[in-house]
Amino acid sequence: MSETKTGDWVDSHFHVFNRQELSYGWLDEYSDALHQLLGDYRPLNKAYPPTDYFADARPAGLTKAIHCEAVFGANSIGETAWLQSVADQSSIPLALIAWADLTAPDIEFQLDRHSAYPAFRGVRMLWGADAASSPAFRRGYEALATRNLIYEVASLWNNCFEDVARLADDFPNTQIVLQHLGLPIQHDDAYLSDWRRAMAHLGKRSNIACKLSGFGMFDHAWTVERMRPYVHSVVDAFGTDRCFFGSNWPVDSLYGRSYVELIDAYRAAISDQTPEARIAMLSGNASRIYRI
């Protein structure tokens, strides 16, 4: 039996699709911009229910999981309500990151509606230009902070890292999670050098953690050898206590690997770490940060 099947694994980033009850505009309306990032993502445009996710993930040793929103706009509360019903029936503990518009005049109402569901932990919102200095955004972020919620940053790192650092400084008690390593989508040496400096800059803030996920999005032909330098750079910046892995499933299923093969690759990428560090990055850190 492989190490994957015997070790605890907490998936910090997965999606499921309820195509009967919810609307997924990004799947229904094919986007050239998203194509540039993901490649041909039309195979995702179908139902992917929780039963399919658990069937994919259980053989990898899944013990807990965090769902990251896949529904934007007015449907987001409906997604949280549905996922809470999934969590209520699941033998595997689940936590939820929902979509919310932090610039909305009714953001307090939005957050309170999400917070009525016990598995809800925080929000993801696509990062906008100058968000950290926008009065509307900061008002919404303060509402999030006072509710002890997590903010997940979805953006290319070079569009946001200075503002995210400022936000972390201004709200030091609020947990920020940088998704998908900040999406380092280019591979030339100068670009990656700038990315490493940005990660080091963000890593100085103790309230920022980094999600090691989405490797397939910025390297469609990833291997463990190509993954490992990115992992090492994030560990150097954040330490082994503030980074953790996520599958980004089923999005990363587009790139020719099974779920178990992906988690095996994660384990191989940190095989040089101590046993304590491996446990932290594969299960302990996500359990702590998402309070699950």
For residue range 18-57, what is the model confidence (pLDDT) as tens digits? 999 999 999 999 999 999 999 999 999 999 999 999 999 9
Which SS3 state, helix, strand or coil, does residue 169 take?
helix
Percentage above 70 pLDDT, the chain = 97
Distance of CA 279 to CAs 4, 8, 134, 179, 229, Å? 12, 8, 39, 20, 19
At 208, which helix (H) or strand (E)?
A: strand 208-212
Rounded Cα distance, 140 and 128, in Å: 14
**Residue 5 pLDDT > 60, yes or no?**
no
Rounded Cα distance, 77 and 66, in Å: 17
pLDDT digits (tens, 9 = 90+) for 224-248: 999 999 999 999 999 999 999 999 9
Tell me the domains of the chain and their CATH numbers.
Answer: 3-289 (3.20.20.140)
**Residue 132 pLDDT > 90, yes or no?**
no
**Residue 1 pLDDT > 70, yes or no?**
no
**Residue 129 pLDDT > 80, yes or no?**
no
Closest CA to 221 of 265, 156, 275, 178: 265
Angle at 150 between CA 145 and CA 156, to 5 degrees: 115
Q: What pTM does this model have?
A: 0.95
Taking residues 76-85, report their average pLDDT: 98
Q: What is the 3-state secondary structure (H, E, C) of 11-48?
A: EEEECCECCCCCCCHHHHCCCHHHHHHHCCCHHHCCCE
pLDDT at site 7: 77
Closest CA to 43 of 282, 249, 253: 253
Please give the mean pLDDT across all residues of the chain: 94
User: Higher model confidence: residue 168 or residue 159?
Assistant: 168
pLDDT at site 157: 78
